[in-house]
Chains A and B, each alone.
Chain A
Amino acid sequence: AQSVTQLGSHVSVSEGALVLLRCNYSSSVPPYLFWYVQYPNQGLQLLLKYTSAATLVKGINGFEAEFKKSETSFHLTKPSAHMSDAAEYFCAVRRVAASGTYKYIFGTGTRLKVLA
């Protein structure tokens, strides 16, 4: 069954520094992978998704992620952190049930703190 693991529950970066949030996946079939962002007391907002097309995926707010099959990774990056990037980030993989319904399995999340 598909799953994702996020390394590091908390990450701190300085404003203007590179943001790197790590996600590794496990899947016996070509995965569909997603990154979501959650601001305090809000729902989740889709940042970007990988659906087996280009391996480098660009999302909103300057974020991008690269699918690396050899490393089973889908790390999220942003060249220069902004204070407004402080939030919790979730990696997810789409799992298809026997009925054909699909559901997303989320990682445990990484809280990003941006230091002035």
Chain B
Amino acid sequence: SQTIHQWPATLVQPVGSPLSLECTVEGTSNPNLYWYRQAAGRGLQLLFYSVGIGQISSEVPQNLSASRPQDRQFILSSKKLLLSDSGFYLCAWSNVRSGYTFGSGTRLTVV
């Protein structure tokens, strides 16, 4: 069966520090991968999606970037975190048959 792993679960980082959040999928090949951010009172915002290795589409301009070095690995990064980057980050995968499946999320607090 397919599973999605996301880590870490929580992270506290100082302003100006780098960020790397990782998401991996098991049990499927060539999934579409997504990063969403959930800020308090603002619902879910799609940040990036990827349809294949090295293919990244950005939905909104921001301080973050994404990479897909392997078929089932999706990484969210920042060189220098801002206070406004705080939020709950969710990775998701999909294929035509399955629809969306979400990871358990990472709570990022920038201090």
The reply to whether the CB of B53 lies closer than 8 angstroms to some CB of chain A is no
Smallest CB gap from B43: residue in A: A108
Q: Is the CB of B104 within 8 A of A106?
A: no
Smallest CB gap from A99: residue in B: B51
Bound form: Cα–Cα A61–B100 in Å: 19
Specify which chain B residues have a CB less than 8 angstroms from the CB of A41 in the assembled complex.
9, 88, 105, 107
Known: A44-B90, A103-B34, A104-B46. 11 other contacts (CB 8 A): A34-B99, A43-B6, A43-B90, A43-B102, A44-B44, A46-B99, A46-B101, A101-B32, A102-B94, A104-B100, A106-B36
Report the count of interface residues on B (CB-CB < 8 A): 25
Smallest CB gap from A42: residue in B: B104
The reply to whether the CB of A9 lies closer than 8 angstroms to some CB of chain B is yes
Specify which chain A residues have a CB less than 8 angstroms from the CB of B57 in the assembled complex.
97, 101
Per-residue CB proximity of B75-111 to A under 8 Å, as 1/0?
0000000000000101010100001111111010000
**A residues with CB within 8 A of B:** 9, 34, 36, 41-46, 49, 90, 97, 99, 101-109
Q: Is the interface of A mostly helix, strand, loop or mixed?
A: strand
Smallest CB gap from B36: residue in A: A106
Q: Is the CB of B99 within 8 A of A49?
A: yes
Q: Is the CB of B105 within 8 A of A42?
A: yes
- B residues 1-54 touching A (CB-CB < 8 Å): 6, 9, 32, 34, 36, 41-44, 46, 49, 51
